[in-house]
Amino acid sequence: MSTPAKIQRIAVLTSGGDAPGMNAALRAVVLAGEHYGLEVFAFKHGYQGLLDNDHIRLCGADVLHILQYSGTIIKSARCKRFVDADAAELAAKNLDALDIDALIIIGGDGSFRGAEHLAQFWNGQIIGVPGTIDNDLYGTDATIGYATAVAIAMDALDKIRDTADAMDRVFIVEVMGRNAGFIGLSSAMAAGSERMILPELQNDKPLTVAALVKHIERVQKIRGDGSYVMVLSEHQWPGGAVALAEQLEAEYHLPCRPCLLGHIQRGGPPAPADRILASELGVHAVELALDGQTRVMAGIKNHAPVAVPLADTWQKKNPLNKNLLRIQHEIFNPVKKNGNGQ
Ligand SMILES: Nc1ncnc2c1ncn2[C@@H]1O[C@H](COP(=O)(O)OP(=O)(O)O)[C@@H](O)[C@H]1O
Ligand SMILES: O=P(O)(O)OC[C@H]1O[C@](O)(COP(=O)(O)O)[C@@H](O)[C@@H]1O
């Protein structure tokens, strides 16, 4: 770190969908703030709190023993109004009235767009911390919440496998991820799923029901076993897992059940990886602010802290891991392209 800038007051907020580990990030911001002699404020309910001037002073005692809980003690929200110029102007006014030097925003790409919007109207420093289960932000190896969501999806897939095995059924398990397939790919690999329907794959070659049925029937024939567990990323099938299961049962007479994991993926104890990532990133964000940086996201790349221009985080894309895709599609697929095993 270079010579610290003379900042005295920082503020923090959590915005967008809550992510497991947001509390750990908040705790880290507050503890780092105290460590460096800063006053720390929090705005509640994301950007809505900036508009309502709904703030509290936080010190170390307020964030004791919160890192093991998901959710966020300062609340999160989606605030439609924040896209308006007058909303950002009001937020700037409230931040200036409180003499805030730097604002730390824990959230996803929408929150970072909001941060850039605010930067057009406010001269203080703005630092982002990647908090979303979707892992869809460029510039960091992982986002806070992703590891927990994958662990929850894997656990659910393991449980589904028991009943799929017992009753020779096809299951479609729908996972979150917004427009990204990171949760889908990782949970499918971790649980040994037979099939993944992910946004990135659908862009190249959308799956047809006929092709899916062909694959299911071949796998069942090769293995002599009816158990087939498919991971479906949200928004990738009209009507989602329920509609696809109905289609497979009605048109192809395959015993098939849907399972929607939904917001279960955002709850429960944050995984160790998320607690540690959030702790490191929260401290990193404060140190970036002390370093005079602004309009950057605190990230971790190859085990090292980095500062990524906020706009890059949504304008550039992290691709899915090609090697994991290859292994899932080729090595672990019982149906071989050359015809072996068919
Ligand atoms: N283009 C934008 N301009 C201003 N504010 C925005 C913009 N996009 C998103 N936001 C703000 O960020 C909030 C969180 O974004 P959202 O996409 O819901 O979640 P996430 O940050 O998790 O991606 C929105 O509710 C809105 O207040
Ligand atoms: O909680 P909501 O508002 O229903 O939104 C659901 C969305 O939030 C997420 O759980 C997290 O997305 P964000 O981090 O972008 O808010 C997505 O995976 C999902 O599509």
Q: What is the pLDDT of residue 339?
A: 59
Tens digits of residue pLDDT in 85-127: 999 999 999 999 999 999 999 999 999 999 999 999 999 999 9
279-305, pLDDT tens digit by residue? 999 999 999 999 999 999 999 999 999
Percentage of residues in the chain having pLDDT higher than 70: 97
pLDDT confidence of residue 203: 79
Residue 259, pLDDT above cutoff 50: yes
Strand residues in the chain grouped as ranges (E): 9-14, 39-43, 55-58, 102-107, 125-130, 170-175, 195-197, 228-233, 256-260, 296-301, 304-309
The per-residue pLDDT of the chain, averaged, comes to 96
Q: Residues of the chain with pLDDT > 90: what percent?
A: 95
How many helices and strands, by DSSP H and E, does the chain display? 12, 11
Residue 295 CB less than 6 A away from ligand 1: no
How confident is the model at residue 342, as a pLDDT? 36
Which residues, other chains included, contact 269 with Cβ-Cβ below 8 Å and sequence gap of 6+? 20, 68, 69, 70, 148
Confidence (pLDDT) at 206: 84
Alpha helices in 82-181 (DSSP H): 85-97, 109-119, 146-167
Q: Does the beta carbon of 177 lie inside 6 Å of ligand 2?
A: yes
Best of 18, 106, 112, 132 to mutate for ligand 2, by most ligand atoms within 8 A of CB?
A: 132
Element housing 202 (H / E): helix 199-204
Tell me the CA distances in angstroms from 245 to 15, 87, 154, 177, 286, one per residue in order: 34, 44, 20, 20, 48
For residue 32, which of 279, 313, 299 has the smallest C-alpha distance? 279
Query: Quick one: pLDDT at residue 155?
Result: 98
In the prediction, which pLDDT does 5 show?
52
pLDDT of residue 281: 99
39: pLDDT confidence band, cut at 50, 70 and 90?
Answer: very high
The predicted pLDDT at position 290 comes to 98
Centre of ligand 1 to C-alpha 66, Å, is 25
Mean pLDDT on 327-332: 97
Burial environment of residue 211 by CB neighbours within 10 A (0 to 12, 13 to 18, 19 or more)? exposed
**Ligand 1 within 6 A of CB of 18:** no
Is residue 341 predicted with pLDDT exceeding 90? Answer: no
Residue with tokens 């509609």: 243
CA of 105 to the centre of ligand 2 (A): 17
**Which amino acid would we find at residue 156?**
A
Q: Which of 68-82, 199-213, 242-256 has the lowest mean pLDDT?
A: 199-213
Per residue in 214-226, pLDDT (tens digit) is: 999 999 999 999 9
For the beta sheet containing 102-107, the strands, ordered from the edge strand earlier in sequence to the opposite edge, are 55-58, 39-43, 9-14, 102-107, 125-130, 296-301, 304-309
Domains present along the chain, CATH in parentheses: 9-145+270-315 (3.40.50.450), 150-266 (3.40.50.460)
CB 124 near ligand 1, within 6 Å: no
Mean pLDDT computed over 42-46:
98
33, pLDDT greater than 70:
yes
- Select the more confidently predicted residue: 102 or 206: 102
Q: How far is the CA of 266 from the centre of ligand 2 (A)?
A: 9
Number of Cα atoms under 13 Å in the Cβ half of residue 144: 40
